[in-house]
Structure 1
Amino acid sequence: MPITASIPALFLLVSVASAMFTLNALWPARRFWPLVGAGFFASWLTGELATHHLFWQAAATGLFVWAGGLDEWPSMAALVIFSLSWMGLLRILVQSRQANEVMETALREGLGADYERLIPERFRDGLTERWTLRQRLFPLPIFDGRVERIKNIVFSKAGGVDLRLDVCRPKGLAQNELRPTVLFVHGGGWTIGSKDDQGKPLANRLAAHGWVVVSANYRLSPRFTFPDHIIDVKSAIRWIREHGEEYGANPDFVVITGGSAGGHLAALAALTPNDPTFQPGFEHVDTSVQGCVPFYGVYDFTDRKAIFKNTLLIPILEKAVVKKRLSEARSVFEHASPMSHVRADAPPFFVIHGEKDSLVPVGEGRLFVELLREKSTSPVLYAELPGAQHAFEVFPSERTGHVLAGVERFVGAVYGQWCAGREREVETRAAAG
């Protein structure tokens, strides 16, 4: 068969494969677990790189048309399929831009229409910053020249492991100058992941705009068993309390954040300040935090509402993480669940979840927010992002830019409120003295 005769068939095959990626990004598999894992990666890469998919599909179409023309029906069918795929990708791009409105609505509803006045003046300059053209074209975390990164500081030794963290801070930070602190906890199903491969867009943005961001590792399953993970996160908070000033981190103001398993650990740490079962050997240390921003987290190890009924969450927890059966050790699973620790004095929360999350159903975020709002006296913000998949903010995508801008506004407002509270305390003591 001549090569030119096979071009229309190849054109059709490529168009169908491309359309399947687009279709999966719009409606990812969530029920049949063997398809969920592969479907997640395909949906994630398509959804956050939709512009790139649009360009390469258009380029491929042009190449095929140039090589084989449109005389045969497979080529005509391929052109129709590609056109439908482009329409789907354009819809994904529209959903990505909607993240800006979703975040802004959450901020105004949770903090008030004039919330920006709460943000200290020095932290307002970068609020409108957007990704550069280079970042859009090459969507990998690029080190920001305005940021100084101090890597692999040992903050704890546990179970024969040297636990390490990185500090990202504004370049040129004056000695003895303290900046508000954000602690980032990576995800990975409590079994994989590292500070080295997650949280870079967040750390770069906040550190470039005046914050100190600490990214910490923790012990992973199956080698280690819960609660080792949360103990290590609390150890990172302890390190900030005891050594943060040496690196410009204000030890008195810490907001904790993380995604997926990191979202679970961040929320659990925020809701269990000074819980001795989660900080053995350093019970005297204040492990409270001043705010929490969990991304697409797991908040209930017991799955009380059967939100994870079609997933492998409980089997993974039983076999690799907790290493006990839920039916035989329910209290252990309960104690590991942020939902079991919602409290009136919880710090401000901003819960963020993608509408199309394949791995942690969006119902998990909704239920957690509902329970928090019933008890907490602090603001509880919630942003449900149209079209967003799990781990969406790994890439500096259009959606990621809008979401991180909203997160920066939130932590800035929380910091401003905290500063105002400290000033009132000083004035009260001065008046009483």
Structure 2
Amino acid sequence: MSPSRGGQTEIVSPDTGVEVHRDLAYASVDGRSLTLDLYMPEHRTDACPVVLYLHGGAFMVGTKRDFAQERLLPLAHSGIAVASAEYRFSAIATYPAQLHDVKAAVRWLRAHAAEHGYRDQRVGAWGASAGAYLALMLALTSGSGEHEGTLGDHPEARSSVEAVTAWFAPTDLLTADAFHPPPDRRPPPFISGPPPQPSILARLLGVANVAENAGLAASASPLTYAAEATGAFLLMHGDRDALISEDQSRRLHAALGAAGADSTLLLVAGANHEDPAFDGPAVLGAVSEFFRARL
């Protein structure tokens, strides 16, 4: 087993009881290191579960430290190790590069479990928006060569995940791209100006128009792979989402149920996309409980 490369360790504060290992390189591509931050419960007496967190940002922006205070530290404080990983944006590389990145991150986590003190038998994934999409694809494309990629130093390690929490994810890229919110749904406050052209999902796929590339969109959609699903899924969506319709989570939940998978759908009343309601104790408590039960 190769040692962790780079990084630094800090105790966030005595109050959190969390130790953070920052900027650990999990893979390298085109001369650039891809890194993650590892949040470890400080006062653990045994190996703890581990969850990979993937940030949102339309595959265009965001960092692995987004929502650290609101999400990553609370989950780690509850006794679950959290690894928050960066991945390439669509302006740098198009799909499936992002999936290759996060699969390499899972392989790294499994390979370095003994070194850091978390369990590697079952790994979880948690994401918001674009990150939720990637978390779902991690779970639903296990063992597929075209989705796997060759990044990282641990080809022998599994890239599968056994439990996923997905917040407001696009699950069918064709219909997600065509979504127009009802007039009574206002964009979240971080959105200004007209939608980008080409669209966010067109940029991810590297095309000018998603509708004219339906086959590619289907091959990149979590919904396509739901029939072969294993593991456990917690899908959460605001019922006032103005960017990604809650029907995206409803449809995936139905497909997972039809496949016999362990799937739970929770709709957050009145919540928009990336709504502060998701960072409240009720939602975060449900996430922690889900991972504790399945990992």
Distance 1:381 1:313, change over 3 A: farther
Question: 1:19-418 counterparts in 2 under 5 A?
Answer: 144-173=15-44, 177-281=46-150, 284-303=156-175, 308-309=179-180, 312=195, 315-317=198-200, 319-324=202-207, 325-375=209-259, 377-393=260-276, 396=279, 400-415=280-295
Q: Is the 8 A contact 1:274 1:285 kept in 2?
A: no
Alpha carbons of 1:286 and 1:166: their partners in 2 closer, same or farther (altered >3 Å)? same
> What residue ranges of structure 2 are gaps of 5+ in the alignment?
1-11, 182-193
User: With structure 1 as the length reference, what TM-score do the two structures score?
Assistant: 0.57
SS at match of 2:237: strand
In the aligned structure 2, how far is the partner of 1:369 from the partner of 1:314? Answer: 30
1:87-135: CA deviations, max 9, x gaps?
Answer: xxxxxxxxxxxxxxxxxxxxxxxxxxxxxxxxxxxxxxxxxxxxxxxxx
Q: Percent identity?
A: 27
CA distance in 2, matches of 1:161, 1:225: 16
Q: Secondary structure at the match of 1:294?
A: strand
Deviation string, structure 1 residues 381-402 (Cα, Å, up to 9, x no partner): 0110111121125885xxx211
Q: CA deviation at 1:307?
A: 5.8
User: Structure 1 counterpart of 2:104, which letter?
Assistant: S
State the superposition RMSD in angstroms.
2.4
User: In proportion to residue count, which structure has more strand?
Assistant: 2
Kept in 1, the 8 Å contact 2:127–2:166? The answer is yes
Aligned residue type for 1:148: E
Q: What displacement does 1:172 show?
A: 3.6
- Is the contact made by 1:184 and 1:199 (CA closer than 8 Å) also made in structure 2? no
Report the TM-score when normalising by structure 2.
0.83
Contact 1:183 1:215 in 2 (8 A): yes
Name the residue aligned to 2:188. Answer: none
**Cα drift, residue 317 of structure 1:** 4.1
Shift of 1:204: 1.5
Q: Aligned AA for 2:287?
A: V
Q: Are the counterparts in 2 of residues 356 and 389 from structure 1 also a CA contact under 8 Å?
A: yes
Q: Give the counterpart letter for 1:165 in structure 2.
A: L
Aligned counterparts of 2:108 and 2:160: Cα–Cα separation in 1: 13
Maintained 8 Å contact 2:174/2:211: no
Q: Distance in 2 between matches of 1:320 and 1:358?
A: 20
Q: CA deviation at 1:329?
A: 3.6
Q: Per-residue displacement from partner, 1:9-59 (whole Å, max 9, x unpaired)?
A: xxxxxxxxxxxxxxxxxxxxxxxxxxxxxxxxxxxxxxxxxxxxxxxxxxx
**Closer/same/farther in 2, CA of residues 208 and 297 from structure 1, 3 Å limit:** same
Aligned length: 267
- Report the alpha carbon displacement of residue 328 of structure 1 after superposing the two structures with TM: 4.9
Q: Give CA deviations for 1:151-191 in whole Å, capped at 9, x if unaligned.
A: 111111113321110111111446xx421111101010001
Residue 189 of structure 1 aligns to a residue whose secondary structure is coil
Bigger relative contact order, structure 1 or 2 (CA pairs below 8 A, ≥6 apart): 1
Paired with 2:246 and 2:97, the residues of 1 have a C-alpha distance of: 27
